[in-house]
Structure formats: structure tokens, C-alpha cells
Homo-oligomer: A and B are copies of this chain.
Amino acid sequence: MKAEIIAVGTELLLGQIVNSNAQYLSEELASLGIDVYFQTVVGDNMSRLSQAIKGGAERADLLILTGGLGPTQDDLTKEAVAEVLGKSLHIDRMAMDNIDRFFQGRGTPMTENNRRQALSIDGGTPLPNATGLAVGNAIAENGKFYILLPGPPNEMKPMFEAEAKPWILQHVLTHETPLYSQMLKFAGIGESALETRLLDLIKDQADPTIAPYAKEGEVTIRISTKANTESEAMVKLDKLTEEIASRLSDHLYATGDIPIEKTIIDLMTEKGLTLSAAESCTGGLLMETLTTVPGSATVFLGGIVCYSNAMKEKLLNVPHDLLEGENAPGAVSAETAQVLAEQVRMIVDTDFGLAITGVAGPGYSERKPAGLVYIAISRRGGDTKVIELNLKGNRDTIRLRSTKTILYHLWKQIKDN
């Protein structure tokens, strides 16, 4: 089963927005076992759009189009697909009711062009839009499948998940054995080291298949298998997950697409543990990351960004002798990291206190190079663990990797006890 993704919109060709829809859909289709051979972007232009649809239908079995379903004369996707298929368009009653309700609720009159958002291709299936006004469409014709989704990701993704994916499973993959996948997420290990530890499994892979890939600071593996039922698939997936976990228990932090900060917040919530942080070179990134997790307030109580030495002394009681003077270790040192972690833990009165101090760059600080970073984890009634990092990259990368690394070490400390 071959698929092609066609994104429609002149704003993409002007570089005003990134085509993140193609990435999302490609990932989703891969997880269904469908191969994407081409992604195309075309502007709001009838002849070029028709050309792209015809070209796509020659190459692929399934075409997914995003964008161009809106109310203006520039929104041409439904017209173009209908024209290529020799079909007409009609107003879908339910979609029109949804649009009418929206404008009644806002108390503003509906302009006539909004009716275009309720158009549906004759013989197709309208796909309801739970978060917007433009109805989607799915249609099979001459052994090819066409799915039309809105352009805004906050409309496209829910519509794909709730409407298009079930339609694909029912109409497109009718005669294929369904593919089941599981994501495994790792921290504190690079992609190549992880591959080396799983080399025999990756080399021998037949069923389930193993596909590793790396994003900034974390590594993900997707394991997939075809099976007639979910429970049959889960037996195979669980067995492989267990084997991988037995080799990488200090790195496998989640089964499922979950960031490590959520794993930490959930684990600490469950154990009734609390957390605080003192940040120097990361300037708030660690705390910002932790507090992206809804419900983090019961675990993460607060912390201090001590960007200047004066602040380290004043708010976090770092001795002046440690920070300044001929032979002082300096702000970027294991000693200072330790004091910061212990002090913030005591000041905020939490079970754990984290600290990051280092040189984010560009250039040197205290005659120390960019990338030299100390992280510390202080635990109530326990020792303080201090680790020296020598990171590569630019300012943003160094800040991000410092944050990911301390989260990894925190997770490792709390997961076992």
C-alpha cells in the first residue's frame, strides 16, 4: 500500500509556515504499515493542484490532501479533487448545521462564503470537524483512495485520529492484517550505543520489526507487528519489550510517546515526593520543562534562577569564597553545584533539589569553555550527586542537553526507590 501526501497552500511555498502536517501524517501512516513515497506541496492554484492530484494518483494508492478547505476563493482542494474524479459537490447538511450553530453562538451574521466549508464530494464520506468548521472528505474511486483534511494542525490531527484513521482501517486496509506498534522511549544513551546493545535483535528482526530514531536528547524505538487481534499483537510486542528492558533497564523510561518530564512528575506524584531547582546557565529551562506537565504543581513547588553570582550568594547562600578569588572553584564548579542543589532543597523544603551551573556560551566564562556544565541532585537525608558534563553544540543545544541530562539522572534515582 503506497501513499502520497499533498499539502495545499501558498503560505507553505512562501516559507511562512513549516509543513508539520506531512511529518505527522507520515509518522501515522508508517505506524499503520503504509509506505509514503512522495510528499508534495502545491499552492492555491487550480491547474497546478489538479496536476499534483493526477500525478499522485498515478504513483500511489492513497492520496491524503491537507489544506484548502476554508471559506475563501483560494480554497480549492474539494473542487480540484471533484474535477479530477469527474464528480460534483453538494452542501453536507450536518456540516452546514455545525457552521450555522457556530455563527449563532457568536451572535455574528454568517457571510455567504462560509457555506463553502460545508461542501462534500458526491459519493464521498464527509469527515466531521470537531475543532473547526470545514468538513473533511474521504472517497474511493477506481481503486484509489482520497482523503481531504483541513490545513490547521489543531483541526487536521483530531480529524485524522477520529475520522480518517478508522476510515483507512475499514476501507483502505480492508484485506490487510492490521499493524500494531509500540513506542519505547530511552534517555541517557545515544542512538548508536543503543543500537549496539540491541544489534542482534535489530539484525535478526523479522517480527516484530524494530525501528530506532533519535531526537534531540532522547532516543525512540518503534516496534511493530502484524496480527489479527490486538491481544495477539500485544503478546509479541510485550515479549520483545521485556527482552529490550532487561538489557536497558537504566534507560528505558516509558512505553508510549511520553516525555521524560511527564514520567518523572507521574512517578513523584505516586510516591508523594516533591522537587525544587536552582538554575544558572539554563536560565529557567529545567523548571519550564517540568511545569509543561499538567498537574506538576503537586510535585514541583518552585525554584530560583540565579543567573548572577550576587544572586547565588544572596538567595542560595553560596559562600563568597567559593565563587570569587584567586583559587576559588568559581560559579561553574562541582562545589557550587552541590551547594545550589542542597540550598534550594532546604529553602523550598522539598525531597529533591536540582541544580545546574555551567557555561552555555558562546565563548568562555571564568576561563572555562562553553559546554562545561555541572549538575547536582540533592536528596533529603541522602548524599548529593554531582556530575560534570562536557557538552558540544551551540548555546541552545548546551542548555537543552544539560536539562535532559539532569532529568535522566533524577529519573534513575527515583525509579528504584
Contact = CB atoms under 8 A, between A and B. Distances in A.
Given A40-B40, A48-B37, A283-B290, A306 B311 contact: no
Interface residues of A, number: 70
A395 B293 CA distance: 9
Given A302-B307, A305-B284, A26 B13 contact: yes
A384 interface: no
Interface stretch (A16-24, A74-82, A159-167, A192-200): A16-24
A301 interface: yes
A84 interface: no
Given A38-B41, A42-B38, A301 B311 contact: yes
A205 interface: no
B40 A13 contact: no
Contact of A283 (B13, B282, B291): B291
Contacts of A349: 310
Interface string A294-332: 101100111111111011001100000000000000000
A55 interface: yes
Contacts of A12: 22-23, 26, 39
A28 interface: yes
26 contacts: A13-B26, A14-B27, A14-B36, A14-B211, A15-B22, A15-B26, A16-B213, A18-B18, A19-B39, A37-B43, A37-B45, A37-B48, A38-B52, A40-B41, A283-B287, A283-B296, A283-B300, A287-B305, A288-B288, A291-B305, A294-B361, A301-B308, A302-B307, A302-B311, A314-B347, A315-B347
Complex copy number for this chain: 2
A300 B307 contact: yes
Contact of A303 (B28, B41, B55, B305): B305
A48 B310 CA distance: 61
A406 to B, nearest CB: 14
B26 A14 contact: yes
A1 B337 CA distance: 57
A373 interface: no
Given A37-B48, A41-B22, A288 B283 contact: yes
A302 B310 CA distance: 9
The 4 closest A-B pairs by CB, nearest first: A283-B291, A15-B27, A15-B26, A284-B284
Contact of A19 (B19, B37, B304): B19
Interface in A359-409: 361-362, 395-396, 399
A258 interface: no
A40 B39 contact: yes
Given A306-B302, A396-B292, A36 B13 contact: yes
Contact of A348 (B36, B311, B362): B311
A282 B288 contact: yes
A172 interface: no
Contacts of A23: 12, 15, 17-19
Nearest to A51: B59
Contacts of A213: 11, 14, 16
A30 interface: yes
Contacts of A35: 13
Interface string A73-97: 0000000000000000000000000
Given A15-B26, A37-B42, A303-B305, 11 more contacts: A12-B22, A13-B26, A13-B36, A14-B213, A17-B23, A38-B40, A38-B41, A282-B288, A284-B287, A315-B347, A315-B348
